[in-house]
Chains A and B, each alone.
Chain A
Amino acid sequence: MIDSMMSKYNYWMYIILMMIGFYAMIGKKNLIKKLIGMNIFQTAIILYYISIGVKKGGTVPVLMEGLPRAADYVNPLPHVLMLTAIVVSVSTTGVALAVILLIYRRYKTLEEDEILKSIR
Chain B
Amino acid sequence: MNPPHIQATILIIIIPLMSSYAIPLLGWRWKRSAYFIALTAIGASLVCSLILLSTVLTQGTIHYHLGGWLPPWGIEYVIDPLNGFMGVVVCTISFLVTLSSKKSVEKELPEKKVRFYTIYLLLFTGLMGIVVTGDVFNLYVFLEIASLSAYALIAIGEDGAPLASFNYIIMGTIGACFYLLGVGYLYIVTGSLNMADLAKLLPPLYDSKVVLIALAFFLIGTAIKMGLFPLHVWLPDAYTYAPSAVSSFIAPLMTKVMAYILIRILFTVFKPSYVIEVVPVASILSWIAAVAIIAGSILALAQRDLKRMLAYSSVSQIGYIVLGIGLANKMGLIGAYLHILNHAFMKGCLFSVAGALMYRTGRRNIFQLHTIHRKMPFTMGALVIGALSMIGIPPTAGFFSKWYLILGSIEAQNWVFVAVILASSLLNALYFFRVIENVYFEVSQGGLKEEPAGDPVREVPLSMLAPIILLAAGILLLGLYNERIISGILVLALPRGF
Q: Are B163 and A119 in contact (CB under 8 A)?
A: yes
CA distance A100 to B151 in the complex (A): 12
| Chain A, interface SS category | helix
A31: chain B residues at CB < 8 Å are: 166
Say yes or no: A95-B173 contact (C-beta < 8 A), given A52-B187, A85-B180, A102-B155: no
Q: Are B162 and A41 in contact (CB under 8 A)?
A: no
Q: Does B169 contact A (CB under 8 A)?
A: yes
Q: Are A103 and B162 in contact (CB under 8 A)?
A: yes
Q: Shortest distance in angstroms between A112's beta carbon and chain B's nearest beta carbon?
A: 8
Q: Are B187 and A38 in contact (CB under 8 A)?
A: no
Q: Shortest distance in angstroms between A90's beta carbon and chain B's nearest beta carbon?
A: 11
Within 8 A of A (CB), among B132-177: 137, 141, 144, 148, 151-152, 155, 159-160, 162-163, 165-166, 169-170, 173-174, 176-177
Which residue of B is nearest A85, CB measured?
B180
Q: Are A81 and B137 in contact (CB under 8 A)?
A: yes
Interface core residue of A31, A78, A81, A116 (most chain B CB under 10 Å): A81
CA distance A110 to B166 in the complex (A): 11
Q: Does B490 contact A (CB under 8 A)?
A: no
B169: chain A residues at CB < 8 Å are: 38, 92, 95-96, 99
Interface size class of A (residues with CB under 8 A): 20 to 34
A92: chain B residues at CB < 8 Å are: 144, 148, 169, 173
A41: chain B residues at CB < 8 Å are: 173-174, 177
Which residue of A is nearest B166, CB measured?
A99
Say yes or no: A42-B177 contact (C-beta < 8 A), given A49-B184, A52-B188, A92-B169: yes
A116: chain B residues at CB < 8 Å are: 163
B180: chain A residues at CB < 8 Å are: 45, 85
B163: chain A residues at CB < 8 Å are: 103, 112, 115-116, 119
CB < 8 Å: which of B159, B173, B184 contacts A42? B173
CA distance A35 to B456 in the complex (A): 45
Q: Are A25 and B170 in contact (CB under 8 A)?
A: yes
Q: Shortest distance in angstroms between B394's beta carbon and chain A's nearest beta carbon?
A: 42
Q: Does B486 contact A (CB under 8 A)?
A: no
Q: Are A119 and B144 in contact (CB under 8 A)?
A: no
Q: Are B174 and A25 in contact (CB under 8 A)?
A: yes
Which residue of A is nearest B147, CB measured?
A92
A95: chain B residues at CB < 8 Å are: 148, 151-152, 169
CA distance A62 to B166 in the complex (A): 42
Q: Shortest distance in angstroms between A44's beta carbon and chain B's nearest beta carbon?
A: 9
CB < 8 Å: which of A48, A99, A102 contacts B184? A48
Within 8 A of A (CB), among B392-432: none
CB < 8 Å: which of A38, A49, A78 contacts B170? A38
Q: Does B17 contact A (CB under 8 A)?
A: no
Q: Are B162 and A88 in contact (CB under 8 A)?
A: no
Q: Are B162 and A102 in contact (CB under 8 A)?
A: yes
Other A-B pairs, 17, CB within 8 Å; known A52-B188, A96-B166, A96-B169: A31-B166, A38-B169, A42-B177, A45-B177, A45-B181, A48-B181, A52-B184, A88-B176, A91-B144, A92-B173, A98-B152, A98-B155, A99-B155, A99-B165, A99-B169, A100-B166, A119-B160
5 closest A-B pairs by CB: A102-B162, A103-B162, A88-B144, A99-B155, A96-B169
Task: List, sorted by A's number, 30 A–B pairs whose CB atoms are closer than 8 Å.
Answer: A22-B174, A25-B174, A34-B166, A38-B169, A38-B173, A41-B174, A42-B177, A45-B181, A45-B184, A48-B181, A52-B187, A78-B184, A78-B187, A84-B141, A85-B180, A88-B144, A88-B148, A91-B144, A95-B151, A95-B169, A96-B151, A99-B155, A99-B165, A99-B166, A99-B169, A100-B166, A102-B155, A106-B159, A119-B159, A119-B160
